[in-house]
C-alpha cells in the first residue's frame, strides 16, 4: 500500500503541467531561473525544499485526541514549511540542498526540539477546539511563541502587526544587549569612542556583542476584502525576488498553501493536502526523509485566485541582511508608489507595543492569545512529523 492517502488536492497531481515554455523569468525564494534552459534546475531546487503534508497514525494529540490532521492541519503544515526554510537558511544558507544528510539534520532539529512539533502542549483559546483550521496570522503567532525554546538556532521571530514593520523593534529583538536609548550597551556608563567605534561599550565578550540573532520576520497582511487587490500583484511578486525571502503562507479559504515563487502571473506553491504516515527516527537516529520532498512539479495558480489574507516571511542572517532588506522595500515603494506594508524607523511613543516592552506578544487580542497558550482546560500537542 502507498504511504500517501490521496485527498481532493492530490488527485490533481496527474494534471499538473510542467513549467510553461516562456521567456519570463521564474523566481523561487530569491533565485532566478529560466524556464527555457533551466527546467531541471527549477525542479531540483523545488524538490530540495522541505515539504510538510498531512500525517496520520501519530500519537494521539493530548493523549486521547486525533491521530491525524487531515482536513484541518494544512496551515500548520505551511507554518512548518516556512520555519523549515528559515532553519535551512540559518544552518546551510540559501542553496539548493543536495545532500540528504543536510536535510536530515534539519528535519531532526525540528523533530527533536520539544518546543516545536512533538511534545509542546498549548492551551486552546476561547472559541477554538482541536481540529479547527488556523489562519496565517495565528500560525505566525504560534511560530513566534515556539521559537524561544530553540536555543541552538537562536532564531528571533518577529511578527509585524498592523501592516507596519518597525526597524527599532527588530533591532532590539535581534541585539537585545544593546541599549538603544543611549546608543550603546547598558553595561557601559562611559563608552569611549576610538577611530569612530565605541570601545568598552559592553560588558559582554566581543564575539557576543558582534552577534545578531538570526531574524525570521513574519508579516501578516490583508491585501483586499474578499479578493486580492490587483494593485498588490507586483509588490507581492517582488517579495519572492528578494534574497531574504522565506515565501508566503496563505491560499484559498480553508485551504492553505506554501508559496515559494512565481512565473508570470502564476504563483508557485507546495501543497500540504496529501496524507502520509507519520515518520519516527529509527534506533540509530536516522530519519527517512523521502516523504519530505515533493517529487512532482510544483503546483501553480493565478495570483488573482489568492485569498487576500496571507503572511509573508523573510530571513535575515545578519544586520547587513536586514539593512539590505529595508533598502529593497523602500526602493520598491518609491518605484511603484505602493507597498503592502509600511516600514518605519521607530514607533511613536504613544503607540509603543507591549511586545517592545517584553510584556505580551504583539497581538491585538493579547488576552485571548494568553488564554490560547496558557489555558489548563484543554491542551493539544503541536503535530509530530
- Active site residues per annotation: 74, 271, 273
Distance between CA atoms of residues 245 and 242, nearest Å: 5
Task: Say how many C-beta atoms besides its own lie within 10 A of residue 159's C-beta.
Answer: 21
Do residues 169 and 158 touch, judged by C-beta distance below 8 A? Answer: yes
Query: Which set of grid coordinates corresponds to residue 251?
Result: 491560499
Report how far Cα 51 is from the mean position of its chain's Cα atoms: 13
- Give the Å distances, CA to CA, from 375 to 125, 157, 173: 7, 23, 27
What distance in Å separates the CA atoms of residue 255 and residue 81, rounded to the nearest whole number?
A: 15
- Give the C-alpha separation, 230 to 238, whole Å: 14
Q: β-pairing, 245-252 with 309-316?
A: antiparallel
Measured CA distances, 381 to 131, 158, 165, 293, 315 (Å): 12, 23, 31, 24, 27
Other CB atoms within a 10 A radius of the CB of residue 148 amount to 12
> How far is the C-alpha of 328 from the C-alpha of 239, rounded, in Å?
10
C-alpha cell at 197: 567605534
Question: Which class for 163: exposed (0-12), middle (13-18), buried (19 or more C-beta within 10 A)?
Answer: middle
Are the beta carbons of 298 and 260 closer than 8 angstroms? yes
192: enclosing H helix or E strand? strand 192-194
Whose CA is closest to 240, among 201, 267, 211, 279?
267
In the Cβ-directed half-sphere of 257, how many Cα atoms lie within 13 Å?
22
Amino acid at each position: 500500500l502507498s504511504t500517501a492517502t490521496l485527498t481532493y488536492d492530490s488527485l490533481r497531481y496527474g494534471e499538473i503541467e510542467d513549467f510553461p515554455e516562456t521567456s519570463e523569468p521564474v523566481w523561487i525564494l530569491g533565485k532566478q531561473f529560466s524556464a527555457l534552459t533551466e527546467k531541471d534546475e527549477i525542479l531540483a531546487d523545488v524538490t530540495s525544499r522541505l515539504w510538510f503534508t498531512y500525517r496520520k497514525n501519530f500519537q494521539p494529540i493530548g493523549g486521547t485526541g486525533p491521530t491525524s490532521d487531515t482536513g484541518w492541519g494544512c496551515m500548520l503544515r505551511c507554518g512548518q514549511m516556512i520555519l523549515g526554510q528559515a532553519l535551512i537558511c540559518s544552518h546551510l544558507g540559501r542553496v539548493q540542498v543536495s545532500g540528504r544528510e543536510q536535510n536530515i539534520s534539519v528535519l531532526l532539529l525540528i523533530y527533536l526540539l520539544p518546543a516545536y512539533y512533538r511534545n509542546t502542549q498549548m492551551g486552546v483559546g476561547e472559541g477554538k477546539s482541536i481540529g479547527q483550521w488556523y489562519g496565517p496570522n495565528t500560525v505566525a503567532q504560534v511560530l513566534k511563541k515556539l521559537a524561544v525554546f530553540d536555543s541552538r538556532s537562536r532564531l528571533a521571530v518577529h511578527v509585524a502587526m498592523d501592516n507596519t514593520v518597525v526597524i527599532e523593534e527588530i533591532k532590539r529583538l535581534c541585539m537585545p544587549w544593546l541599549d538603544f536609548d543611549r546608543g550603546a550597551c547598558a553595561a557601559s556608563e562611559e563608552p569611549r569612542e576610538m577611530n569612530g567605534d565605541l570601545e568598552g561599550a559592553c560588558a559582554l565578550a566581543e564575539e557576543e556583542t558582534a552577534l545578531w540573532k538570526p531574524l525570521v520576520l513574519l508579516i501578516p497582511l490583508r491585501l483586499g476584502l474578499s479578493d486580492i487587490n490587483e494593485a498588490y500583484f507586483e509588490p507581492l511578486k517582488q517579495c519572492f525576488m528578494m534574497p531574504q525571502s522565506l515565501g508566503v503562507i496563505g491560499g484559498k479559504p480553508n485551504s492553505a498553501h506554501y508559496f515559494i515563487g512565481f512565473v508570470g502571473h502564476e504563483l508557485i506553491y507546495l501543497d500540504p493536502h496529501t496524507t502520509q504516515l507519520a515518520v519516527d527516527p529509527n534506533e540509530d537516529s536516522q530519519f527517512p526523509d523521502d516523504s519530505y520532498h515533493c517529487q512532482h512539479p510544483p503546483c501553480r495558480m493565478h495570483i488573482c485566485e489568492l485569498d487576500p489574507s496571507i503572511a509573508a516571511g523573510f530571513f535575515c542572517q545578519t544586520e547587513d541582511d536586514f539593512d539590505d532588506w529595508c533598502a529593497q522595500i523602500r526602493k520598491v515603494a518609491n518605484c511603484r508608489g505602493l507597498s503592502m506594508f509600511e516600514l518605519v524607523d521607530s514607533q511613536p511613543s504613544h503607540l509603543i507595543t507591549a511586545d517592545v516592552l517584553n510584556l505580551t506578544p504583539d497581538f491585538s487580542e493579547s488576552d485571548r492569545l494568553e488564554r490560547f497558550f496558557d489555558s489548563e482546560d484543554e491542551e493539544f500537542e503541536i503535530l509530530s512529523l
